Structure 1
Amino acid sequence: MAEFIGLVLEECPVNIDDIAKATSDDPLLRSIQQRVLMQSWSQVTPAEEPYYLIRDQPTTIDGILLFGNCCVIPEALRHAVLQLAHEGHPGRDIFKDALRRRVWWTGMSKDADKFAEQCSECWRRHTNSAQELMLSEIEGVWQKLAVDLVCIEGQQVLSIVDYGSRYPELLPLSATTTAAVIDRLMEVFARFGLPRVLVSDNGPQFA
């Protein structure tokens, strides 16, 4: 069992320590963890209802929820996971299949569809082919970063994901202007150094 759990966590696209911390900071997942540990599912809230319906399947280990052979991803890290699975513009079906093999959260399929809809290249490649997701070669850590603007619980956030280490940074923004994004990027670059490549959706703040 321990060996199986180790393999599951190894396959997860985001750093395990980051998942454990984000899970601890997520009120819903923290509550689900307690229910799983105590095997107590009385008086579930509407938000807990999807987990109640699959209550015999989740497990928890080292602060991380597992659903079958997939890590349950807290809300704060979901956009970063979508970005990583989307690397290489694999097409919608392959993109979603890559997610299903490694991670899970309620509404993941709908979130993946919405993410893919914003990518014209993914729609162009949307076929029923069974080709494998091909990740671009990455030379070391902090060389290639994915950047995007996301909204988490009503707060605009700058999302930065390092393709080499899969390390995510989520930085709250006071405004979504180009100047505000640059200021946040410069703060991160001052700490970690300059990357070689930035990947974005070519939104106005990044143009």
Structure 2
Amino acid sequence: MNITKDIENFVRGRRSCQEATKSPVKMELHSWKIEGEPWSRIHVDFAGPVDGKTYLVVVDSYSKWPEIIEMTTASSTATIRQLTRLFAQFGNPYTLVSDNGTQFTSKEFADFCATNSI
């Protein structure tokens, strides 16, 4: 006699239990195309806090080169300031990928991307 199996069978046999079970939404995996040149697509996100500090992490998808910038604030304005500095050094990317955090979904950031043809 196995109580675990008995419970599993009991739950499987109850319609209300089956209806209440949450099934994760199945999503198709998205593969990024391989870039043919540096800085054509960058991925950006924030890391931290690490020892009380927050960092802007920018990774070039072609070379995998990371740029890690300590941030005093994670606002859209501060993010734009640092990305502007990086774009002056490496050029504007064609594509910027983020996790849609509030810094990256603001009107200010959308305007910044539009102005820079991203």
| Coarse TM-score class (shorter-chain normalised) | 0.5 to 0.7
**Counterparts of 2:55 and 2:70, CA distance in 1:** 4
**5+ residue gaps in structure 1?**
1-122
Q: One-letter code of the match for 2:73?
A: A
Task: Summarize the Cα distance change of 1:135–1:204 in structure 2 as closer, same or farther, 3 Å threshold.
Answer: closer
Bigger helix share = 1
* Structure 1 residues 25-80: Cα deviation after superposition (integer angstroms, max 9, x where no partner): xxxxxxxxxxxxxxxxxxxxxxxxxxxxxxxxxxxxxxxxxxxxxxxxxxxxxxxx
Which aligned pairs between 1:4-43 and structure 2 lie closer than 5 A? none
Work out which of the residue numbers 145, 148, 151 in structure 1 matches 2:45: 148
Amino acid corresponding to residue 171 of structure 1 in structure 2? I
Q: RMSD between aligned alpha carbons?
A: 2.1
What displacement does 1:167 show? 0.3
Moved over 6 A (4+): none
Aligned with 1:195 (options 74, 93, 101): 93
Map of 2:62 onto structure 1: 164
Specify the structure having the higher radius of gyration (Cα): 2
- Correspondence 1:179 to 2:81: no
Distance, in Å, in 1 between the alignment partners of 2:91 and 2:60 is 12
What TM-score, normalized to structure 1?
Answer: 0.36
**Alignment partner of 1:124 is 2:26:** yes
For residues 196 and 153 of structure 1, the distance between their equivalents in structure 2, rounded to whole angstroms, comes to 34
1:135 is displaced (CA, Å) by: 4.2
Percent identical: 32
- Choose between structure 1 and 2: higher strand proportion: 2
TM-score (normalised: structure 2): 0.61
Counterparts of 2:70 and 2:60, CA distance in 1: 18
Secondary structure class of the residue paired with 1:145: strand
Matched to 1:199, the amino acid is V
Which consecutive residues of structure 2, in runs of 5 or more, have no partner in the other structure? 1-24, 106-118
Q: Which has the higher contact order (CA 8 A, sep 6+)?
A: 2
